[in-house]
Structure 1
Amino acid sequence: MRLEIRMSRQENTEVLVIGAGLAGMSAALEADKAGSEVIIAVSSTLCSGSSFYPGTWGLGMVAPQDEEDKKNFVEVITEVGCGMNDIRLSEVLIDHIGEDIEALEEMGVTFKKPETSAYDETLIPCFDRKYRKWYGYLFETAKPAFKDRIESSAIKVLEHTEIFKIIPFKNHYLALAFWNGEVIGIAAKSVVIATGGIGGLYEHRLNTDDITGAGQAMAFDLGCELVNVEFMQFIPGFIEPSYKTIINERALKLAQILSKDGRIIIDDLEVLDERSGHGPFTTRLPSQKFDIEIFEEYLRTGEDKCVKMQYKVSNMSQEGLMIRDYFKWLKEKKKVDASEDIFILPFMHAANGGIKIDEKAATTVPGIFAAGEVTGGMHGADRIGGLSTANGLVFGKIAGREASKYAKKMDPVAAEEQSINIDSIHIVEGHDAVDEIRKLMYRYGSIIRTEKGLECALEAIDAMEKQIREGEECDLKQGLMVTHSILMAKILLKSMLLRKESRGSHYRKDYPEQSEDYDKALIMFKDEKGEIGYKWR
């Protein structure tokens, strides 16, 4: 059954950029610089998404020390990524990041840098093994710099414009969007998807609410392949006070981890010391015990407020720059004193996988490009700290340039469409399916994964999908959010089931060791029947 959607108006452009975080704005500016007409559409506002997340003071970026360091950097990315990265993408990332950071500085973005040239171990990126060039990406200067540059350009900005479907035509794509209570169309010769990760699929997430996984779902529906989606980062965050505040891992060596009733959960000082060297959970190191024990306590009690952290701070002046700045920021911005009891749990932080792209940020569908956390391939099973932000910057600029080149080869956009037909959307009235999906994904598809748990979650989501299809036609916007969430949840759960081993950020309790049988990347795609297919690369 088909549903006719009438558009209140249609915008025409050469390049459409979806998303206005670091990757999206970089892509839009680069396409504009190349002489293309550009529209940037964002469901919230400019400077949104994970690259401007308010739960931390800013984000780190790292770059190689020099030309000689580039080779070592790529080698370490491959080692940390457990061989799951596309080395070509890793090389492009490391080759460009230094010059792209310099370009940001020329644009007016200032970076926090080490106060002295003295060695500071707190500035070694997570999972890295040496000191490199470190830059503290500060929101307070990045936001006005990007806004000023976009406002002075010819880029047309459509804020509060939520793209929900991309439809291919002969010589262009038509993106349908919710805007001001209406449906509008945006016709473009090429499209850059920069919508961020999949945090919105999880109950506890360190993301803004506009990170829903819709970009991946729309790309998959178009025919784009997804890669490495089973790999994602979970890091400890605050349940109470100041919910969704990121824990600075460097300060974990100063912490004691207790149950709600005061029982020590982590009593191994070596585990705490090693865990303070990296933010995300990983199975590569003995410190995996930290996250697993905390999540086991959550599963045992069924309560969010089940694990508390107490900092033991004596002489702050002896600590490194990152730790000193963190506690200062925590008190001034979050109104949290280091002496308080802080309840914590693992939070979904970032995706390591996503839309499969090549060195030119092109997907497997002509004219569709992607950049930032929505993509996968350059990192692998684990990611070095500071490279997610770097990825958005580097491949955002590449995507903008290449989308502009593609658009210039295409004929003018055809006549405007007045209406379009899509599949009908159904939902059971009053049934909060997205909330239920988030709870299922957090319980069964986060830190601890098992065949029984993953199949339980899939069965529940399949039953939910069947119930929805038997329901009445509903509000289009609500229905599409549920549809996208169901699709992405099923893709993620199936990929987690298929990888019967533990590797990097992917932990299978029933397969706790890494296996040579899975020394290959998992690619998910839409098969000829419209079902979820997969292949190993």
Structure 2
Amino acid sequence: MRLKYSRHCDVLVVGSGIAGIMAALAAAVAGRSVILASSGPVFSGSSFYPGTWGLGLIGPENEADQEDLVQSILEVGCGMADEAMVRAFVAGIAPAIEGVKAMGVQLKAAADQNQKDFIPCFDRKHRSWNGLLFDSMRQVFSRKMEESGVEQLPGCELLQLIKTDGRVSGAVVCCGKELTAIRCGALVLATGGYGGLFRDRLTTDDVAGAGQWLALEAGAELVNLEFMQMMPGYLNPCRKTIFNEKTFRYTRLTGPDGRDILENEPDRQALLECRSTHGPFTSRLISRRVDLAMVKAAQAAPEQGVTVTYGPEIRENTPEFVRTYFDWLWEKKHLTMDDPVQIAPFAHAANGGVRIDPNGFTGVPGLFACGEVTGGMHGADRIGGLSTANGLVFGRKAGESAAAFAAAQPVPRADGPVEFDARIIPDQAERRRRMQDVMSECGMVVRTGEALRQGMERLAQLADGCAFTEGDDATQIAASRRLWAQLHLAQAILSAQCMRTESRGSHYRADYPERNPAMERRILVRLEGSTARAAFEQNLAEERSEKQ
């Protein structure tokens, strides 16, 4: 199929969560013409997930606290975070917070920030904590985009990156029910993580994972794909609501047989106290025994999971953070702490993705990236509140870098039409469902080499079995392209999980339950021909020795 260019701009930003919006605004402030495209509505993705009570935003308490936060991120990342990225990240947080304040975004401060519940997830001390208010962000960002002339294209899905003379120069998109091409001087990917690869997920449907594969096709690298946050979420009622981990220490957790899933643990309360300090699963703390017990119970009764009830202590002296959660839960879901709920592990946020430098550059001329589509600034585990900070900091950096690139190098001429392979996979919906089953069965909390190898075989069969037909239905073509990208990214993720024969942070191998110091190496994924290949980076310990 041949497509004509229908629009052109200096900077095309794809994805309209916090990172994408910050990138679009930064490029527009730099004087570039900007189009902001997103497969969902503007203000979408994980940044505006409706199943959570708000966005925490943390940063260093002051300049003296910056180095401590850097070291905490590196420690929590279990040797998998890129130190240069971490330092650029932390240095940019305070200016980013001041920037959104200057725009007029309302931040909610804690009444008593010294309560222990305001220590960020996985962190060791209090930081500067703020809550970003959804309504204020929408109002302020909408006004700023209108004032700066950012053209918004909601319902516009990215299908292919266009390259001219080795640089990214545009994109094929599906806007509504029409396939078209957009020409640009630079492109910023802000398409979010890959929660959409999983059946059991705490993400919106537009967090599909296609952006990572498209970046790989264009020549970028992926890093740390095996590290993904698995969070407890509601099965019933209000499915896919995120469970507040700060309440674990008050809970009784019962399985489908009505028995306490931790009844055989002599240090039961110590486990729950530890589990209350972090939201996602981690293999490096004793609290992993809580998650493993939840997994076992959920496997026994997938639709029932673990029933949560609260003891009287939570009502006697409810901490501010917990009270805020239950106030939101009543307002939005009409649930109270007296209502029993069933929970289970869900796929949540990706710690890995497109490899970028501290300015958001992917290594492919004209292609920049920011937000959860990227990796490097986080490691095997991620401190709570840094996802939002990541979007603010690297969104601005990527937008500024893309604007500078577009200004220095004129938009390539586009004299002819764009060649696009517009084919349809008739059973794409069923194949996507089966792919999501594979990922939820093989790549969630508990992983084994045998299950991962079987999962990769099943995914390869799904990909190899795709029967393509010709057609002109744009929505079906888009869904088929998305599936193709998802199938191949899913294989790359399971491949990385299979290669890491140890347990480290969010990655847990039941057949290799301990951390192996010899595996302190990041796994990179590159495209060789049409096949994604995962390989270990140079051993980081040797790299540090060489520097010394």
What's the TM-score, normalizing by structure 2? Answer: 0.94
From 202, 205, 208, give the equivalent of 2:201: 205
DSSP-derived class of the 1:482 partner: helix
Give yes or no for the alignment of 1:346 onto 2:341.
Answer: no
Give yes or no for the alignment of 1:137 onto 2:128.
Answer: no
Contact 2:236 2:342 in 1 (8 A): yes
TM-superposition CA deviations, 1:203-262 (whole Å, max 9, x none) = 111111110001101101111100001001011000110011111111111111101231
From 127, 152, 159, give the equivalent of 2:154: 159
What's the TM-score, normalizing by structure 1? Answer: 0.95
The separation in 2 between residues aligned to 1:172 and 1:513, in whole angstroms, is: 42
DSSP-derived class of the 1:432 partner: helix
Give yes or no for the alignment of 1:235 onto 2:231.
Answer: yes
Match of residue 11 from structure 1: 7
The separation in 2 between residues aligned to 1:271 and 1:73, in whole angstroms, is: 26
DSSP-derived class of the 2:420 partner: strand
Structure 1 residues 530 and 450: alpha-carbon distance in aligned structure 2, compared to 1, 3 A threshold: closer
State the 1:367 CA deviation. Answer: 1.3
The separation in 2 between residues aligned to 1:197 and 1:172, in whole angstroms, is: 21
1:440-451 equivalences in 2 (<5 Å):
440-451=438-449
1:255-404 equivalences in 2 (<5 Å):
255-267=251-263, 268-301=268-301, 303-314=302-313, 316=315, 318-404=317-403
Contact 1:226 1:523 in 2 (8 A): yes
Letter of the 2:43 counterpart: C
DSSP-derived class of the 2:132 partner: strand
DSSP-derived class of the 1:266 partner: coil
The separation in 2 between residues aligned to 1:50 and 1:42, in whole angstroms, is: 13
The separation in 1 between residues aligned to 2:448 and 2:314, in whole angstroms, is: 43
The separation in 2 between residues aligned to 1:442 and 1:530, in whole angstroms, is: 23
The separation in 2 between residues aligned to 1:321 and 1:70, in whole angstroms, is: 26
State the 1:371 CA deviation. Answer: 0.3
Match of residue 537 from structure 2: 536
State the 1:326 CA deviation. Answer: 0.7
Match of residue 457 from structure 1: 455
Contact 1:110 1:141 in 2 (8 A): yes
State the 1:116 CA deviation. Answer: 3.8
The separation in 2 between residues aligned to 1:313 and 1:112, in whole angstroms, is: 29
Give yes or no for the alignment of 1:148 onto 2:143.
Answer: yes
State the 1:482 CA deviation. Answer: 1.3
The separation in 1 between residues aligned to 2:314 and 2:120, in whole angstroms, is: 24
Give yes or no for the alignment of 1:38 onto 2:37.
Answer: no
Letter of the 1:442 counterpart: S
State the 1:496 CA deviation. Answer: 0.3
Contact 1:242 1:336 in 2 (8 A): no
Contact 2:89 2:358 in 1 (8 A): no
The separation in 2 between residues aligned to 1:426 and 1:209, in whole angstroms, is: 20
Which ranges in structure 1 are unaligned for 5 or more consecutive residues? none
Structure 1 residues 419 and 94: alpha-carbon distance in aligned structure 2, compared to 1, 3 A threshold: closer
The separation in 2 between residues aligned to 1:430 and 1:51, in whole angstroms, is: 28
Letter of the 1:509 counterpart: A
Letter of the 1:240 counterpart: N
What's the RMSD between the two structures over aligned residues? 1.6
Q: How many correspondences in the alignment?
A: 529
The separation in 1 between residues aligned to 2:292 and 2:314, in whole angstroms, is: 30
Match of residue 503 from structure 1: 504
Match of residue 115 from structure 2: 120
Letter of the 1:374 counterpart: V
Most deviating of 426-435 and 406-415: 426-435
The separation in 1 between residues aligned to 2:536 and 2:520, in whole angstroms, is: 13
Structure 1 residues 246 and 430: alpha-carbon distance in aligned structure 2, compared to 1, 3 A threshold: closer
Give yes or no for the alignment of 1:224 onto 2:220.
Answer: yes
Letter of the 2:347 counterpart: M
The separation in 1 between residues aligned to 2:290 and 2:416, in whole angstroms, is: 55
State the 1:323 CA deviation. Answer: 0.4
The separation in 2 between residues aligned to 1:315 and 1:233, in whole angstroms, is: 27
The separation in 1 between residues aligned to 2:499 and 2:258, in whole angstroms, is: 39
Letter of the 1:299 counterpart: Q
The separation in 1 between residues aligned to 2:380 and 2:411, in whole angstroms, is: 42
Give yes or no for the alignment of 1:98 onto 2:55.
Answer: no
1:425-440 equivalences in 2 (<5 Å):
425=423, 427-429=425-427, 432-440=430-438
Contact 2:492 2:534 in 1 (8 A): no
State the 1:431 CA deviation. Answer: 5.8
Letter of the 1:284 counterpart: R
TM-superposition CA deviations, 1:425-464 (whole Å, max 9, x none) = 4525376111111111011101000011111111111111
The separation in 2 between residues aligned to 1:415 and 1:315, in whole angstroms, is: 64
Match of residue 491 from structure 2: 490
The separation in 2 between residues aligned to 1:399 and 1:322, in whole angstroms, is: 33
State the 1:127 CA deviation. Answer: 0.5
Match of residue 78 from structure 1: 74
The separation in 2 between residues aligned to 1:64 and 1:207, in whole angstroms, is: 28
DSSP-derived class of the 2:502 partner: coil
The separation in 1 between residues aligned to 2:17 and 2:260, in whole angstroms, is: 40
Contact 1:43 1:210 in 2 (8 A): yes
Q: Percent identity?
A: 38
TM-superposition CA deviations, 1:20-69 (whole Å, max 9, x none) = 11000000000011111111111112111111111112111111111111
The separation in 2 between residues aligned to 1:316 and 1:351, in whole angstroms, is: 34
DSSP-derived class of the 1:395 partner: helix
Contact 2:48 2:134 in 1 (8 A): yes
Letter of the 1:434 counterpart: R
Letter of the 2:287 counterpart: S
TM-superposition CA deviations, 1:138-191 (whole Å, max 9, x none) = 112111111111111121111111111102013652200111211111111111
Most deviating of 392-401 and 525-534: 525-534
The separation in 2 between residues aligned to 1:437 and 1:58, in whole angstroms, is: 31
Structure 1 residues 532 and 243: alpha-carbon distance in aligned structure 2, compared to 1, 3 A threshold: same
DSSP-derived class of the 1:17 partner: strand
TM-superposition CA deviations, 1:484-523 (whole Å, max 9, x none) = 1101110100000010000000000000010012111111
DSSP-derived class of the 1:293 partner: helix
The separation in 2 between residues aligned to 1:375 and 1:466, in whole angstroms, is: 28
